[in-house]
Amino acid sequence: MAEETITIDTDTTSDEDVTGLKKKNADLVKRLKIAETERAKALTDLEEAVETANSEKTDELGKAQRQITKLQNDLKAAIDRADGAERGLRDHRRDHAIAEAIASHNVEAAHAGMLSKAFRIDVEFDDDGEPTIEGKSIKEYAKGYFAKEGKAYTRAPDHSGGGSVGTNSTKAPPKLSKPPVSNDEWTTFDKMDVAERNALADSWGTPELKL
């Protein structure tokens, strides 16, 4: 039996991709703003407590110091939450950009996981929190990389159109550029061999889908 070849069309990003990304970005941004607000409030409360402690009588100093300690702990917790929210937003932008770059350059599934990890190691963030590699956006960097040293990791374009010779008219199943959602996408995903399935799961950052 001939081995089924699964070709993924990554020339366009579906509305579901864009909508999902916008929703996740909006959620992360919202969490970051909440954490930033908590941090600002904790800092204000701490400053007010210090002022109060300095104006209190000596016999009230112990109580004020305890309050200062509590507020210092609150401030640290707020800072940690803000930092975590910011990291989550940056990591999401990084992983999405890498997955999109790998999918759009028709990378062989067997190499997708390895390249995703390699790109993550080289990523740096600019002042706006955007992921870059060697000072370029991930999309721009990938364009140059896959045109040269990374070309060996890509598949040749599918030229099974009307003018090709020696091909049939059977339409190849769609390539999965994101975790499956519909029944058809799950069917396609479940029919993949283990190596290809696991490589795609790595490229999406969804290890729970690996076998």
Give the tens place of pLDDT for each residue, 132-151. 999 999 999 999 999 888 88
Contact 35, 77 (CB under 8 A): no
Within-domain flag for 93:
no
Average pLDDT for 21-32: 81
Supply 112's token pair. Answer: 């997708």
Within-domain flag for 51:
no
The residue range of the domain holding 193 is 179-211
Within-domain flag for 149:
no
Give the number of domains in the chain.
Answer: 1
Within-domain flag for 12:
no
- Cα pseudo-dihedral 150, 151, 152, 155, rounded to 10: 120
pTM (whole model) above 0.85 = no
pLDDT of residue 124: 92
- Rounded to whole angstroms, the Cα distance separating 108 from 103 reads 9
Within-domain flag for 169:
no
Average pLDDT for 82-93: 81
Q: Is the dihedral of CA 105, 176, 202, 21 positive or negative?
A: positive
Q: What share of the chain in percent tops pLDDT 70? A: 79
Q: In terms of Cα–Cα distance, which of 42, 43, 23 is closest to 31?
A: 23
- HSE-up (13 A, CA, CB side) for residue 169: 1
pLDDT of residue 175: 65
- Rounded to whole angstroms, the Cα distance separating 138 from 99 reads 10
- Rounded to whole angstroms, the Cα distance separating 140 from 199 reads 23
pLDDT of residue 3: 47
pLDDT of residue 145: 92
